[in-house]
Amino acid sequence: MQAELYMGFAEKDFQDALAELEAIHGKAYKNYTEDHTKLFLTVQNKVLPKYGFQTGQAGVLQMLAAASRFNDDEDFCTNRAVLNELIGMAPPIDEELEQLERKAPPRAAPKPASQQLLVTESLRWAPTLTT
Q: How far apart are CA 63 and CA 54, in angstroms?
A: 9
Q: Which residues are within 8 A (CB) of 33 and not within 5 positions of it... i.e. 6 or more apart?
A: 25
For residue 102, what pLDDT is reported? 64
Query: Hey, CA dihedral for 19, 22, 28, 29, is it positive or negative?
Result: positive
Global pTM reads 0.70
CA angle 34, 57, 82 (to 5 degrees): 80
pLDDT tens digits, one per residue of 36-52 = 999 999 999 999 999 99
Closest listed residue to residue 87, CA positions, set 4, 24, 38, 14: 14
Q: Per residue in 39-88, pLDDT tens? A: 999 999 999 999 999 999 999 999 999 999 999 999 999 999 999 999 99
- Dihedral angle sign, alpha carbons of residues 98, 90, 12, 17: negative
